[in-house]
Amino acid sequence: MPLPILAQALFEGISSIPAGWTIVKVVPSLLLLYILKRFFNGTANTSERNMHSKVVIITGGTSGIGAEVAKELASRGAQLVLLTQHPLSDPFLVDYIMDLRTSTNNELITAEHVDLSSLHSIRVFATKWVDNAPPRRLDMIVLCANTLTPPGGKPSVTDDGLEGNWGLNYMANFHLLSILSPALRAQPPDRDVRVIFGTCSSYMAGSLPGIDSPSAASRSNKEKKREKKDGKKEATTIAFTPSQVHATSKFALMTFALAFQKHLSSYVRPDKNPMNARVILVDPGFTRTPGMRRYLSCGSLWGLALYLILWPFWWLVLKSPEYGAQTFLYAAMEAKYGRGEGGVFLKECREIGFVRKEVEDEGMQKRLWEESERTVQVLEKEGAIKRVKQKKGGETAGKAAVGNEGPKQRKGK
């Protein structure tokens, strides 16, 4: 069929073919659109791995990229533990898990209530996981949870009083992995254990005042002891701008990720086998997630209307969540990352270098870790005191209510 049509166009002219000139104009445009879309979608994962019997903890697994990662891993037989802020009885969560089980033909999908904006909630889950004999199986932790304040938005605050981006993107992951570290180190030596961090290229604009400066390393021992004793330190902050605080949280996360790899690798196993847990950092690229939509729409209705008007453009230049998940899947399934030293940085399913070499600085990694530990200790102590006061206040209010009820009942008699 195509040959006679081409011959007719060649010998009799394009005008002799019905809608010939329209086809000539439209086909190149569609071909260009296809090429551009393939380019912006990025590289697809081609690695495969049998995930049956693998236990995977995943944060952010109910929306965006995390939901696609959860779906793909579950379809390959992985046992998923979704950490979610939704109550376990929430109808949305119940329906989501049931639908995921049905679509992946995998019944080994459960959820745990973990509010990543609460250090106490993280500790309750992580200590429960670690406090088990023999140690529970844990093959992989995938950290997809992320927050991003839209332009012009006001600072959000976590339950512990931390700025939202810093608290969820960095401190939550630091606290979670710090407690789960024994569970990772206790896995058998023949098990392929991976910790996958989700980050983004914004880390290049990040900064850590008071930590990445030379003066932070030269503080006197007397000053450090006083800070440790008082549990307080003069705040060193940066002016709040949504892009800057997000970049700083990712910069800190990547610095911690490399430090965490050193922390795991330095552990001497009782059986003298080499450590088998490896850290992998993943930049999924710009993706049409709910968080990205909120950022592009500036968190406003007018912005959302403009986003919808420009949706064809965003559809073209932004990845779908399915393609955004490809590098995560590559990190989870590529065989070569089950060996080696870990601490690799992946984008578009290939290894890339760190633009900001500071993240590899051991001195800054140590200072960040120490400062984060100190912050967690102070905030958890304050949180414990607050919960005790609330509990006592509730008990006092209950006794007062009972006391007020008593005379009324006697009067009625």
Name the average pLDDT for the chain. Answer: 86
Higher model confidence: residue 218 or residue 384?
384
- State both tokens at 242: 């949504």
Residue labelled with tokens 């019944």:
107
The answer to whether residue 243 scores a pLDDT higher than 50 is: yes
Report pTM: 0.85
The tokens 């006197």 sit on which residue? Answer: 220
**Start-to-end C-alpha separation, the chain:** 100
Q: Does the pLDDT of residue 410 top 70, yes or no? A: no
Give the amino acid at 254: M
- 250, 391, 411, 413: the catalytic one is 250
172-206 pLDDT per residue, tens: 999 999 999 999 999 999 899 999 999 999 999 88
Work out the widest C-alpha separation in the chain, in whole angstroms.
Answer: 111
Q: Given pLDDT bands bounded at 50, 70 and 90, which one contains residue 23? A: low
For this structure, is 229 an active site residue?
A: no
Domains of the chain are 2-40 (no CATH), 42-284+319-382 (3.40.50.720)
Lowest mean pLDDT among 313-317, 332-336, 371-375, 385-389: 385-389
Decide if pLDDT at 229 tops 60: no
Encoded tokens for 18: 């019905």
Instruction: Report the range of poorest mean pLDDT among 28-42, 59-73, 93-107, 399-413.
Output: 399-413
Paired with 240 in beta bridges are none
Rounded distance between C-alpha atoms, residue 386 and residue 381, angstroms: 9
Secondary structure string (H, E, C) spanning the chain? CHHHHHHHHHHHCHHHCCCHHHHHHHHHHHHHHHHHHHHHHCCCCCCCCCCCCCEEEEECCCCHHHHHHHHHHHHCCCEEEEEECCCCCCHHHHHHHHHHHHHHCCCCEEEEECCCCCHHHHHHHHHHHHCCCCCCCCCEEEECCCCCCCCCCCCCECCCCCEHHHHHHHHHHHHHHHHHHHHHHCCCCCCCEEEEEECCHHHHHCCCCCCCCHHHHCCCHHHHHHHHHHCCCCCCCCCCCHHHHHHHHHHHHHHHHHHHHHHHHCCCCCCCCCCCEEEEEEECCCECCHHHHHHHCCCCHHHHHHHHHCHHHHHHHCECHHHHCHHHHHHHHCHHHHCCCCCEEEECCEEECCCCHHHHCHHHHHHHHHHHHHHHHHHHHHHHHHHHHHHHHHHHHHHHHHHHHHHHHHHHC
What is the pLDDT at residue 413? 41
Is the C-alpha dihedral spanning 263, 269, 272, 278 positive or negative?
negative
Predicted local confidence at residue 64, as pLDDT? 92
Which pLDDT band holds residue 234 (cuts at 50, 70, 90)? very low
Over residues 68-107, the pLDDT tens digits come to 999 999 999 999 999 999 999 999 999 999 999 999 999 9
Q: What is the mean pLDDT of residues 351-367?
A: 92
Residue type present at position 14? I
Of 240 and 50, which is predicted with more confidence?
A: 50
Q: What is the length of the chain?
A: 413
